[in-house]
Structure 1
Amino acid sequence: MSTICQKLEVLGQKVEEPQKIAKLLTDLPSPRFDLFRHTYRLQAAVGTPLTFADMQAQLQIIESDLSRTAEKNNGVTDTGEALVAHQNQNRGRNQTNKRGNKNRNKEKQKETRACHFCKEVGHLRNDCPKWKAKQSSIQGEQGRQDQDRQKQGRVNVALTSSVPMRQPYQSGWIIDSGASNHIVRDRSLYKTYELLKTPFEITVGDDFALQVIGKGQIEVDFSDGHTWEPGTLNDVWHVPNLGHTNLFATGVVAKRGYEVVFREEDVKIKNKNGQTVLAGYPGDNGLYHLMIRLRGHVAKKAAASIKLWHERLGHISVDTVKQMAKTDIVIGLDVTTDDTMNFYCDGCVKGKMSRKPCKVKSSREVVIGARIHSDLCSIEVESISGKKYFVLFKDEASAFRKTYFIKEKTEIFDKLRDFVNEQKAERGDQMITLRTDNGTEYINARCINYLKQNGIGLEKSVA
């Protein structure tokens, strides 16, 4: 159980204390540990549960006691069977005891109630043979299901969820006993790299030839399943057409005195002292993936020119890009070429260009009553007197408004004439310009002739 929990934590799935206890209680074989299971639940109910470590210690003690009891009872390993055997032996010895004979001769009163399970009269459910047979079959089925789940590599946690005991582990590094050397496909993984003057070919499993074009050193971190330690892979071949995974050759480490141990649940590489320096776990298709991760310098594969970093970082200044690269503020910001002298960003030039504002001369009228704006609007709800529209006249200088309600659009001419007459009567002058839209209620021969006769200009808006 502890090993399983450690593997799950390595895979990033932490198992909490209640989940460990629930799993342990579920996997205890029945009926040997039924009493222990019930006792723990009673302690938990009163608020004094055992910890996972205490439970392991108690179970080891109980296991040793059961083993000694089995030896005394001629191989009877079940506590219930041992108890029955002792009772039978005592019963034989007590047959000569008169007091014991008198006690056994006292017969119980015959049960008159009916069993709730089989509905027969004469016994209760706890004494019903059919009920006991059903419970035995249920426990046997549960035991078989638990064994099947364990064979399939699944562990039940907290009685309500399940997590893989051995999840397919993916690291990008596959251990290969048939590889001649460590092989990768990504050029950017190397810390130091040497391009081969004379490339050579290697043959893979399907007799397909791949070309090795370079070699170099890769800085990585190795894990033994618990902690990560820095390491270096030397003389790693570069094969661009290898695939999406990297190959770790067992022959290379074996020549250097390391031991490679394959097991069903994992693979371990041990040094001469027997210490595990690198571990791996099965992935898809039975391939073992080693716990190898690339170190921080790999982020430098994003190296680019100052201009490209300038664009990536939101068009910040070139000096800021240089300062960030110099002080390592951003991990992986590697400037390949300093092209400051020839630096030119079309986007920055266009984005910083400014355009002079268009000077608009104000033509707002300042003389009251000189320019009048007019428009016709419909009314959604017809008035009691049947008015469907209203016509508005507004003075541009003073914002004075005059409204007339009309039934038909043809009445606009009459209202225009009334407004001109009222303005003359009240102010002693008349409008100079009438501004309207292109509506036919204004743009018609009758209105145009009236405005010309009275010396009033007509202006039309865009609408």
Structure 2
Amino acid sequence: MQSLHNRVQRGKQLHEFTLGSGEDLMTHIARFDDLCARLAAVGEKMTDDEKVVILLGSLPQEYDTMVRIIELQEHVTLLDTKEMLRREAEVIQKRDTKEQAFRASIHGQRNRGRGRGNGRRGGYNRGGGRGGGSQPWTGNGKSEFRGTCYECKQQGHKKANCPSLKENSSDEYVFSATITVVTDKVVWILDSGASSHMSGDQVDFNVFRELTEPIDITVANGQRLRAAGDGSVKLIMEDGVKVTLTDVQFVPHLDRKLMSISALTARGVGVHFEADTAVLSFRGRSIAKIPRIRKLFALEARLALVEEANQAVVSQEHGSDVWHDGWAM
């Protein structure tokens, strides 16, 4: 009876086993292995496939991209799964570090901007103006405005110089940056047999056109799928390079996003394979390096949806490229 009780308790712990957002993955895997070993000690052994299913199901949302890649594999071992998750944890950690630094930079700029605004609210350098006028003079020879602001209804400044507008502008700036940071990653599979780029998610498209008559599309295994629409998809690569995929076919219920090699080369994109990496280049510039995960070359990128429009304004203020400087493929 004690053995059955132990098995029930260990099984309950295992199936309630989850990794909290931001927690260390390797510690989580070590705890998982320990639980599996204790279950095996009381006679409750699991296959590696069962362990993979439970381990993947225990992960938080930030691992969804890698979980999806692993799910696409025909045969994956527990060891392979742990290694892919370890690499993904390193990517997540690096990204979080960059995002924290970016937020700190934006926060510092906002505070400095507000500090300058508050400084301009200060008193006069001189108590009165020339000729006893009603608007005192400052040290730079300009008279101070003593009327009422149409924005905040306070005296001493015009609407164009209103500190509340400057503060609101700063807040909007931070909001735009936040939108950029949280853009979700998606996975595109490089496909040598697909005749066109394809996605089964209509929300991926920045520009979308519904086809009056569906057309047939061929994929790698020779299967013919029916496209119901087409358009363009904007992506942001890991290093910030912006790419627009053109002539992307919308194929309802397609379970993966396919990036067609033939469609890329037709647009002048070079596709070169180096060991376990596929390199995309355009006009002499490297655009992306796509690692091979078992038999698939899986590109991770961020979707640039409608919310990303604000990011262009932020980029211009920082002197970065905006969307018209990206690559169309």
TM-score above 0.5: no
Structure with bigger RCO (C-alpha 8 Å, 6+ apart): 2
TM-score by length of 2: 0.36
Q: Which has the higher helix share?
A: 2
Structure with bigger gyration radius: 1
TM-score where L is the length of structure 1: 0.26
